[in-house]
Amino acid sequence: MAIENNTESWDYAPSLEGTSHIQLKKKYDLFIDGKWVKPKSGKYFASINPANEEVLAEVAHANKADVDLAVKAARKAYNNVWSKMAPSERAKYIYRIARLMQERAREFAVIESLDAGKTIRESRDIDVPLACNHFFYYAGWADKLEYAFPNRKVESLGVAGQIIPWNFPLLMAAWKIAPALATGNTVVLKPAETTSLTALKLAEIIEESGLPAGVVNIVTGFGDTGAAIVNHHDVNKIAFTGSTAVGKIIQKAIAGTHKKATLELGGKSANIIFDDAPIDQAVEGIVNGIFFNQGHVCCAGSRLFVQENIADKVIRKLKQRMDSLYVGNPLDKNTDIGAINSKEQLETINKYIQIGKNEGAEMYQPKCDIPKKGFYCAPTIFTNVAQSNVIAQEEIFGPVLTIQTFRTVDEVIQKANNSPYGLAAGVWTDKGSRIFNLTTKLRAGVIWANTYNKFDPTSPFGGYKESGFGREGGLHGLSGYVKLS
Ligand code: NAI
Ligand code: MG
């Protein structure tokens, strides 16, 4: 009980992860056909550290002609080498990439935190190990496709164009590249413009692994670079993770072409707490679901539904927990909430917080010392939220949570499903039958029970409705990269 009344947080001495062991070049070219090549335009852009706005490196801006070179290299590698290689040989390369990445896990984690603003705790314990595990996992499938798809003829597609976002830069690269290679495709991948560095480090590892030239090409740039991949006539498949707005543009662009697509888009996921749930664990699950990683998670539990009779208690405990969250330097191991990825994203989040206030919802933010330089946002909750409020409908992609209450199971199912999105959901209850009832009725691709944001390479991930289509991860993740007959 004593702890319940203690709203003061402990002061920890800073515990900074060192940066002396990382190697970053001043300038990164494009990785095409196994070589580092200068962008045709001669243009580079800065990749900054959102925690202090310092420039980390200059990165090449690929244009249409560069993308064309990359696609040609991928096609040549596909025709001459990769599609002809024995699957067990392909597996060896994928394993090798996984092992090399694992050996340099610390370097990857630090660079990810520097470039993306995410906490070192997360990049070290989640992003990097999971990225390695995706390569290990899919390496295992490479020579077992006939068992993955029994009694079917399995063929690769050809060249896969892959466009990824900034919230899990290295992990999204792994999600995309590993299954593509395991199924015998070659790759042209574009990281997000604010977080290119770990993809470029991955290119260095790919080079070191001896993977045949052109099998993986990494082109950096902005939306125009992504569009050049999407619209290239010789790309067979587009794999995209990012905003629903760009997902729709891509879908229009490839309509009527031979291109296959998987799209993993936004979310507004419901986290549902019943009165028989273990409250303290649920509160920790709420915090993990929306505040860690700055809410930069497509499946973030951004809409909380609490059963009415426990709402006061849950909100009180949640506020106490928020009071103890550390916002600040992502490289400090004590930090719970790092930097928002970019100035633009911080502006978007602040715009939504203002909208919430204007809509009449009640806001709570703990007092926290926010660094003067860099992009930061305090954890924020809104109560007194109506189902029709903008903050309850639109994806905010920041540490902002809306809280609503419910009385019955049917009511919460209706409210949770009342969203254009359907990526994930969380259900907290002691009752197994209730979990099964909800998992069949909630329109979401992933549903966690008594936990949140748990990932594993063996388990498929993807959405319903405007959250996209196709699945990544697991056996299902192979399907997007093969033709079956
Ligand atoms: P975005 O969708 O613009 O960016 C994602 C990737 O697509 C980046 O690599 C970008 O360069 C590329 N891209 C942009 N325009 C393109 C085009 N026309 N054709 C091909 N590729 C293109 O996302 P942005 O602007 O960084 O974030 C905006 C919002 O999107 C966020 O506030 C958030 O709500 C959502 N988002 C969702 C993510 C998810 O994991 N589902 C990840 C990142 C953002
Ligand atoms: Mg950056």
CATH number of the domain where residue 291 is located: 3.40.309.10
What is residue 1's predicted lDDT score, i.e. its pLDDT?
A: 37
What is residue 2's predicted lDDT score, i.e. its pLDDT?
A: 40
Q: Please enumerate, as own/partner, the contacts of 42-49 that have beta carbons within 8 Å and a separation of 24 or more.
A: 45/193, 45/222, 47/115, 47/194, 47/195, 47/196, 47/197, 48/194, 49/114, 49/115, 49/117, 49/339, 49/374
Nearest ligand, CA 267: 1
* pLDDT reading at 23 higher than 70: yes
* pLDDT reading at 89 higher than 80: yes
What end-to-end distance do the CA atoms of the chain give, in Å? 63
Cα gap 199→220, rounded to integer Å? 9
Same domain, 435 and 346: yes
Same domain, 405 and 430: yes
Indicate the top mutation candidate among 246, 294, 352, 446 to test ligand 1's pocket, ranked by most ligand atoms within 8 A of CB. Answer: 246
- H/E stretch holding 380 reads strand 380-383
What is residue 230's predicted lDDT score, i.e. its pLDDT?
A: 98
Stated length of the chain: 485
Token code pair at residue 66: 């560069």
127 neighbors 168 (Cβ within 8 angstroms): yes
Atom of ligand 1 nearest to the CA of 221: 11
By residue range, what is the domain housing residue 234? 27-265+467-484
Angle at alpha carbon of residue 298, lines to 119 and 188, rounded to 5°: 90
Same domain, 198 and 300: no
Same domain, 261 and 276: no
Q: Read out DSSP for 284-343?
A: HHHHHHHTGGGG--TT---EEEEEGGGHHHHHHHHHHHHHT--BS-TTBTT-SB---S-H
Same domain, 148 and 223: yes
Angle at alpha carbon of residue 46, lines to 40 and 47, rounded to 5°: 115
Same domain, 394 and 475: no
Ligand 2 centroid to residue 439 C-alpha, Å: 37
In whole numbers, what is the pLDDT of the chain averaged over residues?
96
Give the mean model confidence (pLDDT) for residues 289-294.
95
pLDDT in tens, 136-167: 999 999 999 999 999 999 999 999 999 999 99
- Say if 231 falls within a structural domain: yes
Give just the sign of the alpha carbon dihedral 294, 296, 298, 302: positive
Same domain, 194 and 244: yes
What is residue 9's predicted lDDT score, i.e. its pLDDT?
A: 58
Q: How many CB atoms lie within 10 A of CB 351?
A: 11
Q: Report the pocket of ligand 1 as residue ranges, CB < 6 Å.
A: 163-167, 190, 192-193, 222-223, 226-227, 230, 241-243, 246, 249-250, 264-266, 298, 345, 348, 395, 397
What is residue 12's predicted lDDT score, i.e. its pLDDT?
A: 81
Nearest ligand, CA 398: 1
Same domain, 286 and 387: yes
What is residue 8's predicted lDDT score, i.e. its pLDDT?
A: 55
- Say if 462 falls within a structural domain: no
Same domain, 365 and 423: yes
- Say if 74 falls within a structural domain: yes
Give the mean model confidence (pLDDT) for residues 425-438.
97
pLDDT tier, 4 (very low <50, low <70, confident <90, very high otherwise): very low
* pLDDT reading at 11 higher than 90: no
Give just the sign of the alpha carbon dihedral 27, 196, 398, 308: negative
Atom of ligand 1 nearest to the CA of 245: 2
Give the mean model confidence (pLDDT) for residues 245-274.
96
Same domain, 240 and 351: no
What is residue 5's predicted lDDT score, i.e. its pLDDT?
A: 45
Q: How many CB atoms lie within 10 A of CB 433?
A: 8
Please state whether 410 falls in left (phi above 0), alpha (psi between -120 and 50) or beta. Answer: alpha
Q: Whose CA is nearest to atom 9 of ligand 1?
A: 192
- Say if 3 falls within a structural domain: no
Same domain, 288 and 245: no
Give the mean model confidence (pLDDT) for residues 198-207.
98
* pLDDT reading at 480 higher than 80: yes
CATH of residue 177's domain is 3.40.605.10
Beta strands in 43-113 (DSSP E): 44-49, 54-60
- H/E stretch holding 174 reads helix 169-182
Give the mean model confidence (pLDDT) for residues 166-171.
98
pLDDT tier, 233 (very low <50, low <70, confident <90, very high otherwise): very high
Considering its fold, how many domains does the chain have in total? Answer: 2
pLDDT tier, 312 (very low <50, low <70, confident <90, very high otherwise): very high
- Say if 7 falls within a structural domain: no
- Say if 123 falls within a structural domain: yes
Q: Read out DSSP for 421-478?
A: EESEEEEE-S-HHHHHHHHHHS--SEEEES--S---TTS-B--EETTEES-BSTTHHH
* pLDDT reading at 122 higher than 70: yes
Q: How many CB atoms lie within 10 A of CB 286?
A: 26
Catalytic residues: 264, 298
- H/E stretch holding 346 reads helix 343-358
Give the mean model confidence (pLDDT) for residues 310-334.
97
pLDDT in tens, 464-476: 999 998 999 999 9
Q: Whose CA is nearest to atom 25 of ligand 1?
A: 243
User: What does pTM read for this prediction?
Assistant: 0.96
Same domain, 189 and 251: yes
Ligand 2 centroid to residue 402 C-alpha, Å: 28
Ligand 1 centroid to residue 246 C-alpha, Å: 6
Give the mean model confidence (pLDDT) for residues 313-332.
97
* pLDDT reading at 237 higher than 50: yes
- Say if 17 falls within a structural domain: no
Nearest ligand, CA 55: 2
Ligand 2 centroid to residue 47 C-alpha, Å: 4
- Say if 443 falls within a structural domain: yes
